[in-house]
Amino acid sequence: MSAPAAGDVVRPSRDRFEAAGVRALAMTMVDNGGITRVKAVPIARLERVAASGVGMAYVWGAAGTDDLFADVPPFDNPSGDMRLVPDLGAARILTAAPGWAWAPVDQMTQELEPMPACQRTILRRTVEAARATGLEFRSTFEVEATLLHDDGRPAHNGPGYSTTALALLDGFLFDLVDALESSGVEVEQFHPEYAPGQFEVSVAARDPLAAADTMVFVRTQMRFAARRHGLQVSFAPTAIAGEVGNGCHAHLSAWRDGTNLMQGGDGPAGTTAEGAATVAGVLEALPGLLAVLAPSPAAYLRLQPHHWAGAYACWGVENREAALRFIPGTVTSRERSANLEVKVGDGGANPYLVMALLVAAAADGVERGLAPPEPIQDDPSTLAPEELERRGITRLPTTLAEATELFEGSELARRVLGDVLHRAFAAVRRREWETHGGLGEQELSDAYRWRY
């Protein structure tokens, strides 16, 4: 899937924007710190921007959540400029923010060639490489968030999943769902979640690039919808110290010739051989990818046993304590809905890198014909050490420092991301640990609450 030619979409996009009263285009990229950065242009400049983009300093390729920069080449000096070129084929109207439209960008050189560290381009290439083998993927993210008053009070105090909490959120949730659906996003379900102020929105699966774009768009709509209700939204893994944190679970299914490989076979949990290999590939790669899925010191407050966050590298059928939860679906929906849920990710993760690495790991498992171990249906933290060893179950890294070390040693991550992005991402993680790794739970929650 290549970015569409600018001339093919500029005029239809402008006509659509003008008909909706759009005055400006918000163009976003997600950096290696996991922050969604934005530049905006008046609609009158749409043709020019579609052709040549807008400038952004190279140094943002090494930005952290605190807006400081890791010292890593080629992002270690004030020279250099990249062009942010909007993909108008993926643009949507920000109906929760009248007057605005939104588009994701590709990071390009001044010769309008893809930058080596463009996360969105890397995802596109990874999907294309899998498709060249006949393998396609469908994916989505569950977006969990915490809705807070400006003074930090949660918008509801539970109980979890209750109508009590729903009644306190109904105006915001209706406005949000209306905004999403009128923008072409298919909302599958929404509800108050377990922790105070927490809620979740699930949207329909799409191809991985569209899924990553949609996640960024959904979160942008959420921010504007919240402000219209006098609230703020946090996607931080621990928005409130001591409470269950926000995840951002990724869902992935592998397909060939229009058939969902995660069902209809005689493998574990009814998978086909290639569906089982998809699970095995992701499971094998998972420890080395955790720094991408859980990229901040605060993430490891959430990645604890008994939090349904997946603290152990294992998979299970509908097992919410496994890092990989296999969802077979009901007998009426299995053909389209059987999928693998990756539970360890949170809102600090760059969705383009998450999808690129999960697709690559799954495709690698299929190419190598891997077979997963027996699924585990217990809480792994309750098993004796010798039983964990017998089943080949290991605890995932418990700190960002440990996860970063495994990421640096991941050959799959290096191959998919390339040396420039792999090195830059690791440098940002190391700096994040150096500046925030020594903070306590309350300090970490305070530091990250409004960054994501």
Return the biggest CA–CA distance within the chain. 66
Neighbours of 57 (CB within 10 A): 14
Averaged pLDDT for residues 303-315: 93
In eight-state DSSP terms, residue 270 is: G
Q: What is the structure's pLDDT at 79?
A: 86
Indicate the angle between helix axes 400-408 and 273-293, nearest 10 degrees. Answer: 120
Q: Using CA atoms, how far apart are residues 249 and 243, in angstroms rounded to an integer?
A: 18
Asked whether the domain spanning 126-448 has the same topology as the one spanning 6-115, the reply is no
Q: What is the structure's pLDDT at 331?
A: 85
The CATH number that domain 126-448 falls under is 3.30.590.10
Of 290, 299, 251, the closest CA to residue 402 belongs to 290
Structure tokens at 203: 């949207």
Q: Which of the four pLDDT bands, split at 50, 70 and 90, describes residue 441?
A: very high
The number of helix segments (H) and strand segments (E) in the chain equals: 13, 16
- Please say whether the beta carbons of 307 and 299 come within 8 A: no
- Please say whether the beta carbons of 50 and 86 come within 8 A: yes
Q: CA angle, corner 303, sides to 298 and 308, nearest 5?
A: 135
Q: What is the structure's pLDDT at 408?
A: 98
Query: Is-cis flag, bond preceding 305, omega within 30?
Result: no
Q: What is the structure's pLDDT at 244?
A: 86
The string of pLDDT tens digits covering residues 354-401 is 999 999 999 999 999 999 999 999 999 999 999 999 999 999 999 999
For 2, phi then psi, to 5°, come to -100, 155
Question: Which residue, chain included where needed, has tokens 């070390």?
Answer: 405
> Does residue 4 carry a pLDDT above 50?
no
Q: Using CA atoms, how far apart are residues 206 and 256, in angstroms rounded to an integer?
A: 15
> Does residue 302 carry a pLDDT above 90?
yes
Neighbours of 332 (CB within 10 A): 8
> Does residue 236 carry a pLDDT above 80?
yes
What's the mean pLDDT when you consider all of the chain? 95
Question: Which residue, chain included where needed, has tokens 């959540």?
Answer: 65
> Does residue 285 carry a pLDDT above 90?
yes
The string of pLDDT tens digits covering residues 242-269 is 998 899 999 999 999 999 999 999 999 9
> Does residue 297 carry a pLDDT above 90?
yes
Q: Using CA atoms, how far apart are residues 359 and 289, in angstroms rounded to an integer?
A: 12
- Which contiguous run of DSSP H or E holds residue 139? strand 136-149
Higher-pLDDT residue of 4, 341: 341
Q: What percent of the chain has pLDDT over 90?
A: 92
The string of pLDDT tens digits covering residues 165-189 is 999 999 999 999 999 999 999 999 9
Higher-pLDDT residue of 41, 6: 41
- Please say whether the beta carbons of 222 and 117 come within 8 A: no
pTM above 0.85, yes or no: yes
Averaged pLDDT for residues 68-73: 94
Q: Which CATH superfamily is domain 6-115 in?
A: Glutamine synthetase, N-terminal domain (3.10.20.70)
Q: What is the structure's pLDDT at 6?
A: 54
Sign of torsion over alpha carbons 445, 446, 450, 452: negative
The string of pLDDT tens digits covering residues 182-215 is 999 999 999 999 999 999 999 999 999 999 999 9
Q: Using CA atoms, how far apart are residues 54 and 21, in angstroms rounded to an integer?
A: 23
In eight-state DSSP terms, residue 153 is: -
Rama region for 425: left / alpha / beta (φ>0; ψ in -120 to 50; rest):
alpha
- Please say whether the beta carbons of 81 and 55 come within 8 A: yes
Q: Partners of 207 in the beta sheet?
A: none
Q: Using CA atoms, how far apart are residues 427 and 424, in angstroms rounded to an integer?
A: 5
> Does residue 1 carry a pLDDT above 80?
no
- Please say whether the beta carbons of 147 and 240 come within 8 A: no
The string of pLDDT tens digits covering residues 77-94 is 888 899 999 999 999 999
Q: Using CA atoms, how far apart are residues 200 and 247, in angstroms rounded to an integer?
A: 10
Domain boundaries, the chain: 6-115, 126-448
